[in-house]
Amino acid sequence: MNVAISRKRPRLLYALVVALPLTALAEETVVVTASPPASASAPTEGYSASTSLGATKTDQPLITTAQSVSVVTRQQMADQGANTISQALEYTPGVYSSFGGGATRFDAISLRGYHGGDVDNLFLDGMRLMSDGGSHNVVQIDPWFIERVDVIRGPSSALYGQSVPGGVVNLTSKRPQFSQQGHVRLTGGTQNTKGAAFDYTDAINEQWAWRLIGMTRSSDTQYDHTREERYAISPSLLWQPDSDTSLLLRAYLQKDPSGGYHGSLPLDGTRYAHNGRKLSPSTNGGRSGRWLSAPPADLQL
């Protein structure tokens, strides 16, 4: 008896088994997209920053920076509700910023126990803030115009010039962005506190971008007949023809009709004459008539 066995079916099954893995591999497509490198001058999401310009004045990762650096981001300042730079630094290690108690007129900051005449350790975009060290003629930048605050602990005179051994605080201004963004903020609270602020930025074309920031805030204080009142606006224009060349034009105008209070008078100008003059014992640090204007321009080639 002859028995015929067909081999067509096993061959067909074998072909299907071999083809199935190839089909599965063809369906699984993995796309890898590289994120753009983080920049210390660009907005930072959340509380954690990965780069800083403070310690070396170059955009370097914090993990490879051989100096102790802390960064207070825009998001952290907003969540804290900080109205001054001193308030924004209240949770930063090695920083003491409550010299005036509840006073908000000046940003007096001590780093690692060193305090240098109110503003000897405060910088804006790498440049020392205009001030008369040891007196009350001190510039105060509102945090609404600041993108981030870098606290560089330790001696930094090689990069920043004369400064206290405890370190320096570098404020980074908001810059125009090549994407449309807009923010509006309304505030209110006790002591007749009220305020409003806005922040808009957009691209004009592939090379030009603009930004307009403004705010107003007023409130009573714990001192009778003393108020805090501020108006500020800052327009800026950015030209960036390529990734290595940029020109930034920025103006900052701030008026404090009522500067609040400080709680004390400086030694220079009271006990000792300052520039040949002394303050009256009845001097009110919250008097009106304080103006601030600054038209900076940055060029990077």
Average pLDDT in the 232-257 region? 93
Neighbours of 218 (CB within 10 A): 15
Please tell me the pTM assigned to this model. 0.75
Q: Identify which has the larger pLDDT, 129 or 153.
A: 153
What per-residue confidence (pLDDT) applies to 178? 94
| Tens digits of residue pLDDT in 29-57 | 776 665 556 677 778 888 888 888 888 88
Q: List pLDDT tens digits, range 19-31.
A: 555 544 445 677 6
Q: Which of 152-156, 232-236, 273-277, 289-293 has the lowest mean pLDDT?
A: 289-293
- Residue 173: φ, ψ to 5°: -70, 155
**Between residues 1 and 10, which one has the greater pLDDT?**
10
Residues ≥6 apart with Cβ < 8 Å to 227: 218, 219, 220, 221, 258, 260, 286
Distances (CA, A) of 203 to 54, 176, 197: 28, 8, 21
- Could you give the percent of the chain with pLDDT greater than 70? 74
pLDDT of 208 > 90? The answer is yes
Q: Which residue is it, tokens 């405060």?
A: 122
Segment 80-96, tens digit of pLDDT: 999 999 999 999 999 98
Q: Which residues of 117-144 are buried (b: 16+ CB within 10 A; e: fewer)?
A: bbbbbbbbbbebbebbebbbebbbbbbb
Q: How far apart are CA 123 and CA 128, in angstroms?
A: 4
Q: Determine contact, residues 219/227, Cβ cutoff 8 Å.
A: yes
* Domains of the chain listed by start with CATH number: 51-300 (2.170.130.10)
- What is the structure's pLDDT at 26? 47
pLDDT grade, residue 217 (50/70/90)? very high
Output the average pLDDT for the chain: 81
**Helix, strand, or coil here: 64?**
helix
Q: Which residues pair with 298 in a beta bridge?
A: 248
Task: Name the range with the highest mean pLDDT among 6-15, 110-119, 207-216, 284-293.
Answer: 207-216
Beta strands in the chain (DSSP E): 51-52, 60-61, 69-73, 95-96, 110-111, 122-124, 127-128, 146-153, 167-173, 181-189, 193-203, 208-220, 227-242, 245-250, 252-259, 290-294, 297-300
Higher pLDDT, 211 or 269: 211
pLDDT of residue 152: 93
Across the range 207-230, mean pLDDT stands at 90
pLDDT confidence bin for 69, thresholds 50/70/90: very high
* pLDDT of the residue at 74: 94
- State the Cα–Cα distance between residues 134 and 138, nearest whole angstrom: 9
In the prediction, which pLDDT does 269 show? Answer: 75
Q: Indicate the range of 24-38, 58-72, 107-121, 144-158 predicted with least confidence.
A: 24-38
Helix (H, G, I), strand (E, B) or coil at 275: coil
- Would you state the pLDDT for residue 25? 47
